[in-house]
Chain A
Amino acid sequence: MSDKAPKDSEQHAAEADVEAFEDDLGPFVIAAETTRMPMVFTDARERDHPIIFANDAFLKLTGYDRDEVLAQRFDFLLAAGTDAGRAEIEAGFADDSDDNLEICMRRKDGSALWASLFVNAVRDEAGEVVQHFVSLVDESRHHAAQDHAEMLIEELNHRVKNTLATVQAIVAQAVRNHSEPSIMRESIESRIGALSRSHDLLSHEKWGSAGLHDLVTTALEPFSVVNGHSDRFGIEGENVRLSPKAALALGIAFHELATNAVKYGALSNEAGSVSVTWSMQSEPDGRWLCLHWRENDGPPVAPPSRRGFGSRVIEQGLAHELGGKVTLDYRAKGIVCAIHVPAPHVANEG
């Protein structure tokens, strides 16, 4: 905060000019003083266009007191060291064109202020320019919105690239592992379907996060009626919030687990079922999501001699992607998959 200096003669002269000006113009002055449009008058006969009148709206916009502004050169509002702005302002005062200037200025508290300036010359009876009248429009919101839009577009591009790369990986995998075209197609379609369902869930929440309960339900929905029986899943846990990355990775993992269950596990016979349960745990190194996928009453299980792609995704891919821990335990009565995901990929609801 600066100390208020005693008024000097320049300032007195400026205020005298304004008073004379007010006396001449009556209602217009009241309008200029009370309008919500920030406005200043500057003296065109002095160097550097000193401010001789500033309305309340201008003071409110810039954060200055009236006596801090009167008699100051107009471009004192520019951030220090911005010669470009200075030149633009000078050009704006010099010509009478309809172009408006957009300048970045500083408020009293130092914060940036993007404003459009509309400068008009005020002439006397002889046609000489005696003053300039400047009105300002605050463009801060507009600039913030533009910056935000650019960021969103950048993010969108990034997401699309990643999605295409994932689809390509899905196709490559199917082609590499299967020679039978119908099996290849089934593999591709079902994985792309899983990816798409995760996307839908995230889109619904504007890609901020997804609820785990919603994700499990959605991912298992295509498997809900299998071998003529519905209700083969028992799902229990809070709708904790997942990061987009975690939602996509877990969506794929659940898809792989369910696919394997249909092919070899608890969904491959009529009696088997799957329970999916989870809770949040506090460990010394932070909060963790602990989820268990347990298969029951399926055919007897023996560990496979070769890990299929789906198992690789679950045991290695998922842990790597989220910095978590995953174990796949081929117990005789049904596989148990334990998935541990660390914060920041997961947070409590609300």
Chain B
Amino acid sequence: MLVLMAIEDMMSDLGAESVTAAATVEQALKLISARHFDFAMLDINRDGIRSDPVANALGADSVPFAFSTGYGNHFVEGAHGEQPILRKPYNRTNLTQIVNQMFPG
């Protein structure tokens, strides 16, 4: 819970105008279809449910995103294997790097 709020603050500090969070796949899909986001961070799986449908939706809407994971060696296979992966606990430097890569200047 506090982790999510810390991420919101980090994104805010990096210049995000607004940050929206979704707790379930259903919520995320609704949000994505309602508006176009500039960037997303996606738990690879949460409480045993994989987030592939969300990754697919983001891809379809051309929204750049990074995966986040608490597990050690997590490999992402298939269509989204090229997306960057952030390991918990998040490192402000890593997140900054990833965001700067995706939004240069």
A interface vs B, CB < 8 Å?
154, 157-158, 161-162, 164-170, 172-173, 176, 191, 248-249, 252, 309, 312-313, 316-318, 320-321, 323
B1-27, CB < 8 A from A: 1-6, 9-10, 13, 21, 23-24
Taking the nearest CB of chain B, how far is it from the CB of A110, in angstroms?
27
Query: Can you offer 24 A-B residue contacts whose CB atoms are under 8 A?
Result: A154-B71, A157-B71, A157-B72, A158-B70, A162-B3, A165-B89, A165-B90, A168-B3, A168-B6, A169-B6, A170-B2, A172-B10, A172-B92, A173-B5, A173-B6, A176-B9, A176-B13, A248-B1, A252-B1, A316-B5, A318-B1, A320-B21, A321-B23, A323-B24
Measured CB to CB, the closest approach of chain A to B13, in angstroms, equals 8
B5 touches A168 (CB 8 A): no
Look across to chain A and name the residue whose beta carbon is closest to the beta carbon of B2. A169
Contacts of B3 in A (CB 8 A): 162, 165-166, 168-169
B interface list, Cβ under 8 A from A: 1-6, 9-10, 13, 21, 23-24, 70-72, 88-90, 92
Report the separation of the CA atoms of residues A173 and B23 in the bound assembly, to the nearest whole angstrom.
21
A248 to B70, alpha carbons, bound, how many Å? 17
- Minimal beta-carbon separation of B29 from chain A (angstroms): 16
Chain B residue numbers with a CB within 8 Å of A166 are 1-3
Q: Give the chain B neighbours of A172 by CB distance below 8 A.
A: 6, 9-10, 92
Q: Look across to chain B and name the residue whose beta carbon is closest to the beta carbon of A171.
A: B6
Question: Interface SS of chain A: helix, strand, loop or mixed?
Answer: helix
Cβ contact within 8 Å between A169 and B88? no
Chain A nearest CB from B66 CB (Å) reads 15
Instruction: List the 10 shortest-distance A-B pairs measured between CB atoms, nearest first.
Output: A169-B6, A161-B70, A165-B89, A169-B2, A321-B1, A165-B88, A168-B89, A165-B3, A164-B89, A317-B1
Give every chain A residue within 8 A of B6 (Cβ-Cβ): 168-169, 172-173
| Chain A residues within an 8 Å CB radius of B5 | 169, 173, 309, 312-313, 316-317
Q: Which residues of A contact B89 (CB under 8 A)?
A: 161, 164-165, 167-168
Chain A residues with CB under 8 A of B92? 172
CA distance A252 to B4 in the complex (A): 14
> How distant is B40 from chain A, measured CB to nearest CB, in Å?
16
**Is the pair B24, A173 in contact by a Cβ cutoff of 8 Å?**
no
Question: How far does the Cβ of B10 sit from chain A's closest Cβ, in whole Å?
Answer: 8
B72 nearest in chain A by CB position: A157
CB neighbours (8 Å) of B23 from chain A are 320-321, 323
